[in-house]
């Protein structure tokens, strides 16, 4: 056992020294003195994994449910979301920027919401850093007396509880959200984090993580919210098909979309209210959820139109049948079919809910800023919510920044900012495999993958991206992408561009040699350019992957392919 583990074990031993009482007696320990809280507000710390963490707007529709928690609390509650993708109860405890840094910031009266479990179930080489058994690695369920505390979920949850209280804080335990593992019409026990079968190389099943957390809560008298059961009920009510479309991201059966994140936060807040935790600070949930809080159209020439889509979902509407009125500010138009446009429209609904794709068109009338909100109101005029819109109009002849992004998160579509047009991704000679979630800049992201088996570069196997200036010319200053090798480290790639439709006279951006990657590693690759694309021309960018091992089971991982530059009059 390494030194930090030994220190933690000493704390546990000291806690138990007073006997087997269900609540441990307070103990003194250097570095754990309570710090007075801030009388001006209540602080809620949230610690957990990728299902709870914060995501940037470009990651939508993926959202951690912790992002929505402030919406269900009064303004005098300060929420600090420390959750981070890929962390288990074990890895979060030791990682320097996580619990060792968070713990000193906990003050007397602060609340600490604790939720782990997904990554505790990691196997293989990841087990040594992340993996735990629900109770004990010897198959026993006496969490208090596990011979191997380093691989016990029970023990790590217990440490967070004890160390929070020693700082004067108030722990709250929440079990992990359900995975979308259907058996018939119901979520399987595995989807509810009860692993009843031993994995490869394991003598015992990992066990029931929810039961382990509940056992800690009962022994140490900690408020416990069974969010696993609550989210299971939500997912089963939606059913497999609709849950796939509306609740979980396309890449997996674990990470929430915006709607699900909102519903989870709602259930978490209600569970806290039932436990008497922050009951006076919990507010009624909002009824309109948008897949994006802000639509940024960037800079456009006067009269040049751009369209973005947003998914709207409403629930608990009163009356149960009616219509929602939507109004757009000047410079913007709305449509449900991208054929008929208006600055005002109505969305009918029944059963107190609806889910609708809304298209928003920005077309500046002049050279000025167009910042505002799209407003949603109920039948009697009650405001349900807003979506921000932002854009800037400039005169023709002005230079304009351009950015084209292909997110590569299950869709081939391009997102365009600036007076250019972009083709959807062309996939030639490659076959897309199941998307996968990989860590990108410390956050989990949905990554598109393409199977690669050719042992050498093949000119008939590539991904192609194309951009054409809409007005005048375009000077391309940079091309970038997140690329990696999935399933092994044998996938390599070249990146090239050409101004010719037949891709003749290409320029190799990887002139210093083909790109190579570590196993299941995805990294950002940036290429500075000074490329002039004249009016009427198109710049084509290709990624050529190959697999030096020449076998199946390996794939090129691709995420956020981007071209930036400046449109010239």
pLDDT digits 0-9 by tens, 382-400? 788 899 999 999 888 788 8
135 closest CA partner among 144, 127, 126, 125: 144
Q: Where are the beta strands (DSSP E) in 194-233?
A: 194-195, 207-208, 224-225
Q: Is the pLDDT of residue 1 over 50?
A: no
* Separation CA 482–CA 523 (nearest Å): 5
Q: How wide is the angle at C-alpha 543 spanned by C-alphas 541 and 547, nearest 5°?
A: 170
The three-class DSSP label of residue 444 is strand
* Separation CA 562–CA 481 (nearest Å): 6
Confidence of residue 254 (pLDDT cuts 50, 70, 90): very high
**Structural domain of residue 168, as residue ranges?**
36-279
Tokens found for residue 156: 């790590």
180 closest CA partner among 255, 258, 230, 120: 255
Let me know whether 333 and 269 are in one domain.
no
332 domain residue, yes or no: yes
pLDDT digits 0-9 by tens, 416-459? 888 889 999 999 999 998 888 777 876 777 788 999 989 999 99
Let me know whether 370 and 445 are in one domain.
no
Which DSSP category does 425 fall into? P
pLDDT digits 0-9 by tens, 127-168? 889 999 999 999 999 999 999 999 999 999 999 999 999 999
90 closest CA partner among 39, 47, 56, 59: 47
Q: Is the pLDDT of residue 469 over 60?
A: yes
When mean pLDDT is compared across 316-320, 342-346, 404-408, the lowest value belongs to 316-320
* Separation CA 163–CA 277 (nearest Å): 19
Let me know whether 298 and 418 are in one domain.
no
CATH number, domain of 146, equals 3.40.50.1110
Report the pLDDT value the prediction gives residue 58, as an integer from 0 to 100: 75
Our measurement of the distance from residue 150's CA atom to the centroid of its chain's CA atoms, rounded to an integer in Å, reads: 28
Averaged confidence pLDDT in the chain: 89
Let me know whether 162 and 254 are in one domain.
yes
What is the percent of the chain with per-residue pLDDT over 90, rounded to a whole number? 68
Let me know whether 315 and 439 are in one domain.
no
Let me know whether 436 and 454 are in one domain.
yes
Burial class of residue 344, CB neighbours in 10 A (0-12, 13-18, 19+)? exposed
- In degrees and rounded to multiples of 5, residue 48 shows phi and psi of 175, -150
CATH number, domain of 354, equals 2.60.40.10
14 domain residue, yes or no: no
pTM of this structure: 0.73
537 domain residue, yes or no: yes
More confident residue, 290 or 225: 225
Q: Is the pLDDT of residue 363 over 90?
A: yes
Let me know whether 127 and 222 are in one domain.
yes
Let me know whether 307 and 366 are in one domain.
yes
- How many other β-carbons are positioned within 10 Å of the β-carbon of residue 319? 10
22 domain residue, yes or no: no
Report the pLDDT value the prediction gives residue 22, as an integer from 0 to 100: 31
Confidence of residue 380 (pLDDT cuts 50, 70, 90): confident
Let me know whether 513 and 538 are in one domain.
yes
Let me know whether 383 and 424 are in one domain.
no
Last residue of a domain, one of 252, 279, 306: 279
Pairing status of strand 224-225 against strand 170-174: parallel
Last residue of a domain, one of 366, 394, 422: 394
Let me know whether 363 and 490 are in one domain.
no
Q: Is the pLDDT of residue 25 over 50?
A: no
Let me know whether 163 and 226 are in one domain.
yes
144 domain residue, yes or no: yes
Confidence of residue 36 (pLDDT cuts 50, 70, 90): low
Cis amide bond preceding 319, omega within 30: yes
CATH number, domain of 420, equals 2.60.120.260
The pLDDT of 521-540, averaged and rounded, is 95
What is the percent of the chain with per-residue pLDDT over 70, rounded to a whole number? 92
Q: Are residues 53 and 85 in contact, defined by beta-carbon separation less than 8 angstroms?
A: yes
pLDDT digits 0-9 by tens, 261-309? 999 999 999 999 999 999 999 987 657 888 888 999 888 888 888 899 8
121 domain residue, yes or no: yes
Pairing status of strand 473-486 against strand 186-187: unpaired
Alpha carbon distances (Å) from 379 to 43, 52, 204, 314 = 37, 34, 58, 14
- How many other β-carbons are positioned within 10 Å of the β-carbon of residue 166? 21
The count of domains in the chain is 3
24 domain residue, yes or no: no
16 domain residue, yes or no: no
Q: Are residues 382 and 264 in contact, defined by beta-carbon separation less than 8 angstroms?
A: no
Name, of 439-448, 463-472, 496-505, the range with top average pLDDT: 496-505
Confidence of residue 411 (pLDDT cuts 50, 70, 90): low
Stretch (H or E) spanning 373? strand 372-377
Last residue of a domain, one of 394, 426, 459: 394
């Amino acid at each position: 056992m390494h030194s930090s583990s030994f220190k933690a074990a000493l704390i546990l031993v000291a806690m138990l020294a007073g006997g087997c009482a269900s609540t441990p007696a307070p103990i003194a320990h250097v570095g754990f003195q309570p710090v007075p809280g801030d009388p001006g507000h209540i602080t809620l710390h949230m610690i957990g994994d990728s299902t709870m963490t914060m995501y940037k707007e470009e990651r939508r529709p993926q959202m951690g449910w912790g992002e929505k928690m402030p919406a269900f609390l009064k303004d005098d509650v300060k929420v600090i979301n420390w959750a981070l993708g890929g962390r288990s109860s074990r890895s979060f405890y030791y990682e320097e920027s996580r619990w060792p840094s968070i713990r000193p910031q906990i003050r007397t009266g602060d609340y600490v919401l604790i939720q782990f479990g997904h990554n505790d179930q990691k196997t293989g080489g990841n087990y040594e850093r992340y993996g735990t058994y629900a109770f004990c690695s010897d198959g026993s369920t006496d969490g208090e007396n596990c011979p191997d505390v380093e691989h016990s979920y029970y023990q790590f949850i217990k440490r967070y509880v004890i160390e929070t209280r020693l700082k004067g804080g108030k722990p709250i335990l929440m079990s992990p959200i359900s995975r979308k593992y259907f058996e018939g019409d119901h979520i399987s026990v595995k989807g509810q984090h009860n692993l009843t079968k031993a994995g490869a190389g394991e003598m015992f099943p990992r066990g029931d993580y929810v039961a382990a957390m509940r056992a800690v809560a009962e022994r140490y008298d900690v408020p416990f919210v069974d969010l696993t059961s609550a989210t299971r009920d939500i997912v089963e009510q939606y059913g497999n098909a609709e849950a796939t479309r509306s609740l979980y991201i396309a890449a997996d059966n674990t990470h929430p979309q915006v709607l699900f994140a909102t519903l989870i936060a709602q259930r978490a807040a209600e569970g806290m209210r039932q436990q008497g935790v922050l009951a006076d600070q919990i507010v009624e949930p909002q009824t309109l959820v948008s897949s994006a809080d802000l639509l940024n159209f960037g800079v456009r020439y006067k009269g040049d139109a751009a369209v973005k889509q947003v998914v709207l979902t409403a629930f608990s509407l009163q009356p149960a049948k009616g219509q929602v009125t939507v109004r757009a500010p000047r410079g913007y138009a709305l449509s449900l079919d991208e054929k008929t446009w208006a600055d005002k429209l109505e969305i009918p609904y029944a059963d107190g809910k609806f889910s609708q794709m809304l298209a928003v068109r920005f077309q500046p009338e002049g050279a000025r800023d167009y910042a505002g909100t799209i407003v949603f109101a109920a039948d009697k005029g009650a405001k349900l919510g807003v979506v921000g819109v932002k854009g800037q109009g400039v005169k023709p002849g002005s230079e304009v920044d351009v950015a084209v992004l292909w997110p590569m998160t299950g869709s081939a579509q391009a997102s365009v900012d600036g007076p250019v047009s972009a083709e959807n991704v062309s996939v030639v000679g490659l076959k897309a495999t199941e998307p996968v979630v990989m860590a990108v800049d410390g956050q989990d992201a949905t990554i598109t993958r393409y199977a690669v088996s050719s042992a050498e570069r093949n000119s008939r196997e590539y991904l192609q991206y194309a951009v054409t200036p809409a007005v005048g010319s375009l000077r391309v200053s940079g091309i970038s992408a997140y690329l990696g090798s999935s399933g092994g480290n044998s996938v390599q790639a070249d990146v090239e561009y050409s101004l010719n439709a037949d891709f003749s006279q290409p320029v190799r951006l990887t002139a210093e040699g083909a790109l190579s990657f570590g196993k299941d590693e995805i990294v950002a690759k940036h290429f500075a350019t000074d490329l002039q694309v004249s009016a009427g021309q198109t710049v084509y960018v290709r990624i050529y992957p190959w697999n030096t091992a020449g076998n199946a089971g390996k794939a090129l991982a691709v995420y956020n392919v981007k071209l930036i530059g400046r449109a010239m009059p």
